[in-house]
Structure 1
C-alpha cells in the first residue's frame, strides 16, 4: 500500500490543479472538470486562470463561448465547459430526499411545512423557474416571477429585501435544473435560458454524479467520502452509499486511509517538486478542498484563509499556503497587501510581486503598489 506524507499530497494537488503553468488551453485545465467558482466583482475565475496559464495577458471568460456560468455545486456560481453543461445538469439533482435536505440546508420542519417530499420541492421550483424565465431577467425579476408560481410554503419573508420571495438556496439549486444559466460579467446577477434547453431531469444521473465525486478525488485526493460530500453540499452517508466510485485505490496518508482513483496513483506516488509562487484568489479551486487541516495545519492560520465573509486570496509558495493577500484601489492605483504567515525569502517575495502584477492586469490596472505586512 502506498504510504504518503502531507508534503507529497500537496505537491500532487498543485500539479493536478495545473499550477505549474504547463497548459496554455484553458479548456484543458483539469479544474474545469469540476468547474471554477466565480465572484464577478472580484474577477475570481479570471484570477484562477491567471495563476494557471503561462500567458502574461489577461484571459477573460465573460465572452468565451467555450464556458458557461451557472449556479451548480452548492448553488455557487461556477464556470463549466459549455459542451459538458447539459450532461452535468442531471447530476445536480440530489440522489434522494435526504440528499436534497442537505443541499437545501433545510430542516425537516420546513419540508413538513411545504407539504411534499424534499425532492418534489426542488422539482416544483425548477418547473416554476422554467416557466418564469423565458428571456433575460435579473435575479430580482426572476425571483418575483417565480414566487408567484410556487406554493406559498416555498417562499419566506426576507428582511433585507423587505419582500416575500422564494427561498434563496431553493432558487439557486432549481435554476440549472430548469435549463437556466447566469449571464457572465453582469451585475446584478442576471439569468437567461440556455440556448439548447435540456428537459428538467426527473431522476438523478447517479453515474454522472459519481463522476463528479471521482473528479473531486482526482483534484483534491486522496480523500474520504465526507470531504467529497462537503464539496457537493451533500452528506457523507449519501456519497459513501450511493455515489462512491468503484475504481479507487486505498492509500495511507500519515498512517490514515484515504482513496484516490486508480488512474492517478502513479502521479500521486511521484509528483513534481512544487517550486513555484502563485497568487490564488478567494474561492480558487485549490482552496475548495474540504480537508483544510491538511492544507493549513496551524489552526490560527486557517482562520486567516477561511472567514465567515470576505476571504482573502492565498499566497502559495513552494508547496505551502504561506500567506494571504488583499487588494484595494483608488483611482488608477491598485494596491496588493501581503501578510506573511510563513517566512518567505527574498526570491519568493520577488516572485509574489511579479504575480501581483498579473492580478493588477486582470483587474485592469497598470499602476501597482505592493505592501508587505
Structure 2
C-alpha cells in the first residue's frame, strides 16, 4: 500500500480527537503530564473541558508522569513489566542489570516502607534504598550516595500501584491503598493502540515510545510505504478521510507528534522544537509542524509567543487564537485571557 504523509496525518488528527469530537480518544496511550497541566492542555485542545480530576497521574511510559484512566492501569502494568533481561536493561541505562526478582523486591519495599500518607521522590527513595542489595543501589555521583536505580524506582512505583499528586513542582507520591495483583503476559494492546492512533510507524519509534526494549509479541503488522519510505501498519488499517485542523498549539510530547518525525516536520523546523533541554511548543499548521511557541504569564493574561505569527493567515490564524484561549482556560479558568504575539 502506498500512502502520502498528508493522508496519514489527517487520519491521525481525526482518530486522536483533534477535531474536538472525542477528547479522550488518546487516553489509551496515556498523556504526558510534565510539567503538570501539560496533560490537561493536550486533552483541552481536543475538547475536554471538565478537567482531569477523574484521571490518575502515575509514572508510566519511560518513567515519565502520565495521565491515565484508572481502568487502563492493569494492562499498562502488565505490558511495561520487564520479562527479559534485555527489557529490564532498557530501564537501567548504563547501570548493570539486576535480576527480575529485584524489581519485585523494590515493589514490596515501596509498600512496606512508605513513609506517611505522601512522600516526595527523595523521601521514598531514601526509605527503601538501605534495604536493597548493591546491584540495585549503585553509587550516584550527583547525589553522592547509593540509591535505587532511578528508572527502576520509577517503574516499580507503577507496578506497586502508587499514584502521584496532580499538581506541584515536585513529584509527590500517595500511599498505595492496596497492592495490585501480579499481571500475566497478554495481548500487546498498548502497541496496538499506538499503531491505531499514530498510524504507520517504524519499530524503533514504538520501542522508543514504550521505553522497554523490544516488545514480545508485536501485534499483527503489514508493510506500507508513506511518501516512499517503508513503515509498518496494522493489518486492518483503515484510514479516515479528513482534513487536518487548520492550526494547533501542542506541547512537544503531544500524542499527535509520535511516530516518524519526518512525517510531521522538516529537519530545520524539528531542530527548533525538539531540543535536548527546554523544548518549546509545536506550532502545527494544516497538519505539519511549521514553527514553535512559548508562553508567559502576566497578571491575568497568558501571552503566546508564536514563530512567524504575522505570516499566519485566514483559518489557521483564527484556529491558533482559539487554541490560545482554550489553553488559557485550562491553566487559569475564567481568570486568564490569551494574547498571541510574534516570536
C-alpha deviation, 1:81, in angstroms: 0.9
C-alpha deviation, 1:306, in angstroms: 0.8
Over 3 Å counting, the alpha-carbon distance change for 1:78 and 1:275 in structure 2 is closer
2:262 match: 293
Q: What RMSD in Å do the two structures reach over aligned CA positions?
A: 2.4
1:322 match: 290
Does structure 1 residue 190 correspond to structure 2 residue 172? yes
Q: 1:60 aligns with which of 26, 41, 51?
A: 51
Which deviates further from its counterpart, 335-344 or 12-21? 335-344
2:195 match: 217
Does structure 1 residue 309 correspond to structure 2 residue 277? yes
Over 3 Å counting, the alpha-carbon distance change for 1:254 and 1:187 in structure 2 is closer
Q: Is the 8 A contact 1:250 1:260 kept in 2?
A: yes
Over 3 Å counting, the alpha-carbon distance change for 1:357 and 1:341 in structure 2 is closer
Please state whether the residue corresponding to 2:155 is helix, strand or coil.
helix
Aligned length: 340
Please state whether the residue corresponding to 2:19 is helix, strand or coil.
coil
Please state whether the residue corresponding to 1:309 is helix, strand or coil.
coil
Does structure 1 residue 356 correspond to structure 2 residue 333? no
Unaligned runs of 5+ in 1: none
Which TM-score applies when normalising by structure 2?
Answer: 0.90
Q: Is the 8 A contact 2:202 2:260 kept in 1?
A: no
Q: Is the 8 A contact 1:179 1:193 kept in 2?
A: no
Q: Is the 8 A contact 2:200 2:233 kept in 1?
A: yes
Q: How does 1:1-373 map to 2 (within 5 A)?
A: 2-23=1-22, 26=23, 29-41=24-36, 43-53=37-47, 58-61=49-52, 63-64=53-54, 67-107=55-95, 110-111=96-97, 116-117=98-99, 119-133=100-114, 135-158=117-140, 160-201=142-183, 205=185, 207-208=186-187, 210-235=188-213, 238-239=214-215, 242-246=216-220, 248-263=221-236, 265-266=237-238, 268=239, 270-287=240-257, 289-296=258-265, 298-340=266-308, 344-364=312-332, 365-373=335-343
Over 3 Å counting, the alpha-carbon distance change for 1:199 and 1:342 in structure 2 is farther
Please state whether the residue corresponding to 1:146 is helix, strand or coil.
helix
Please state whether the residue corresponding to 1:19 is helix, strand or coil.
coil
Q: Is the 8 A contact 2:34 2:65 kept in 1?
A: yes
Q: Is the 8 A contact 1:276 1:319 kept in 2?
A: yes
Unaligned runs of 5+ in 2: none
Which TM-score applies when normalising by structure 1?
Answer: 0.83
Please state whether the residue corresponding to 2:131 is helix, strand or coil.
coil
Q: Distance in 2 between matches of 1:30 and 1:354?
A: 21
Which one has the bigger helix percentage? Answer: 1
Q: Distance in 2 between matches of 1:333 and 1:257?
A: 46
Q: Distance in 2 between matches of 1:351 and 1:68?
A: 30
Over 3 Å counting, the alpha-carbon distance change for 1:148 and 1:306 in structure 2 is same
